[in-house]
Amino acid sequence: TKVPVLTIDGPGGAGKGTISSLVAERLGWHLLDSGALYRLTAQAAVKHGVSLENEAALASIAASLDVEFPVEDGLPCTLLEGEDVGRAIRTEQAGERASKVAALPQVRSALLQRQRDFCQAPGLVADGRDMGTVVFPDAPLKIFLTASAEERARRRYLQLQEAGVDASLSSLLKEIQARDARDTQRSVAPLKPADDAITLDTTRLSIPEVVDRLTELLAQRG
C-alpha cells in the first residue's frame, strides 16, 4: 500500500511551516521541511567557503549534506555536521541565500531523492514550493497556501518582534516581494500551484482554522 502524502506549497511567510508541523503532529505523520534542505545547503557552502555561484560544487554539497533532525528535550533540532544551526538558518540572509542556491537545477536534482526518502508510513506532510508539482506529483491531497504579501510581512514582523529582533515592516515587505519574484520566475521548478492543488488563502484565517480545514479536506479524500 502507498504511503499517503499531503503536500503544502506556497510563498514564504504564508504559514506553511507552522501549519505543516501542526497537521503532522495531529495526524502522527512525518514532516518534510524541504526549505530547510536548501537553507542547509547554502549554510554548508558558506561554512566551507564555496561560492553561491558554483553550481557543480553546490550540487555536490547538497548530495552529501550531513544533516540530522533529532528531538532534544522535546524540541526539534537541526544539526549540520553535528553543529546546531537551527537559528542560523532562519535569518532573512539565510533565506535569501537558500533561494539563490534553490534556483540551480543541479542542486534541485541532488536533493530530490533525499526529499522522497522522507515518505514513510504512516504518512508524510511535505512543506515547500514544488512538493505537489515535482517531488510528490502523485500525492492524493495538494494544498497551495497563500496570503497577501502585506499580511505575510506583518506576520513575519510580529514573529521577529516576539523573538526580540529589530525589524522594519517596509523592508520585510520588500524582501518578501523580492523572494516571491525569484521563486516564481526561475526556470526550474518555479513556485506555482499544481494543476490539481486546492488553493487556500489564509489572509483572514487563524492558524487553528487552517489546521481544521486541512484535516477536514484530508478526511474527505482519505
Bridge partners of residue 115, in order along the sequence: none
Nearer to ligand C5P, 99 or 216 (CB): 99
Give me the least distance between CB of 13 and ligand C5P, in Å please. Answer: 8
Any contact of residue 15 with ligand C5P (CB under 6 A)?
Answer: no
Q: Is 183 in the site for ligand C5P (CB under 6 A)?
A: yes
10 annotated as a binding-site residue = yes
Give CB contacts under 8 A, 24+ apart, made by 147-153. 147/13, 147/14, 147/15, 147/201, 147/202, 147/203, 148/203, 149/11, 149/173, 149/176, 149/177, 149/180, 151/203, 152/11, 152/12, 152/13, 152/14, 152/176, 153/13
CA distance 55 to 18: 31
Looking at residue 152, its amino acid is R
Q: Is 44 annotated as a binding residue?
A: no
Task: Kindly indicate which of the ranges 44-52, 53-61, 66-74, 125-133 contains the residues binding ligand C5P, using the contact rule CB under 6 A.
Answer: 125-133
Q: Which residue number has the CB closest to ligand C5P?
A: 35
Interaction with ligand C5P in 95-114: which residues (CB under 6 A)? Answer: 95, 98-99, 102
Minimum CB separation from ligand C5P for residue 35, in Å?
Answer: 2
Helix (H) or strand (E) holding 143: strand 141-146
Peptide bond into 122 cis (omega under 30): yes
In the bound state with ligand C5P, the residue whose beta carbon lies nearer, of 100 and 213, is 100
Other Cβ atoms less than 10 A from the Cβ of 201: the count is 14
Residue 82 marked as a ligand binder: no
The answer on whether 12 is annotated among ligand-binding residues is: yes
**Shortest distance in whole angstroms from residue 38 CB to ligand C5P:** 4
74 known member of a binding site: no
The whole-angstrom separation of Cα 55 and Cα 219 is: 42
Q: What's the min distance (Å) between Cβ of 169 and ligand C5P?
A: 19
The reply on whether position 10 binds ligand C5P by CB under 6 A is: no
Q: Total binding residues for ligand C5P by CB under 6 A?
A: 14
156 forms part of the interface with ligand C5P (CB under 6 A): no
Near ligand C5P in 25-84, by CB under 6 A: 34-35, 38-39
The residue ranges of DSSP E strands in 12-120, in sequence order, are 30-33, 67-68, 71-72, 75-76, 79-80, 83-84
Neighbour-count burial of 92, counting CB atoms closer than 10 A to its CB (0-12 exposed, 13-18 middle, 19+ buried): middle
| Smallest distance, ligand C5P to C-beta of residue 101, A | 8
Residues near ligand C5P (CB under 6 A): 12, 34-35, 38-39, 95, 98-99, 102, 128-130, 179, 183
Residue list, annotated binding site for ATP: 10-18
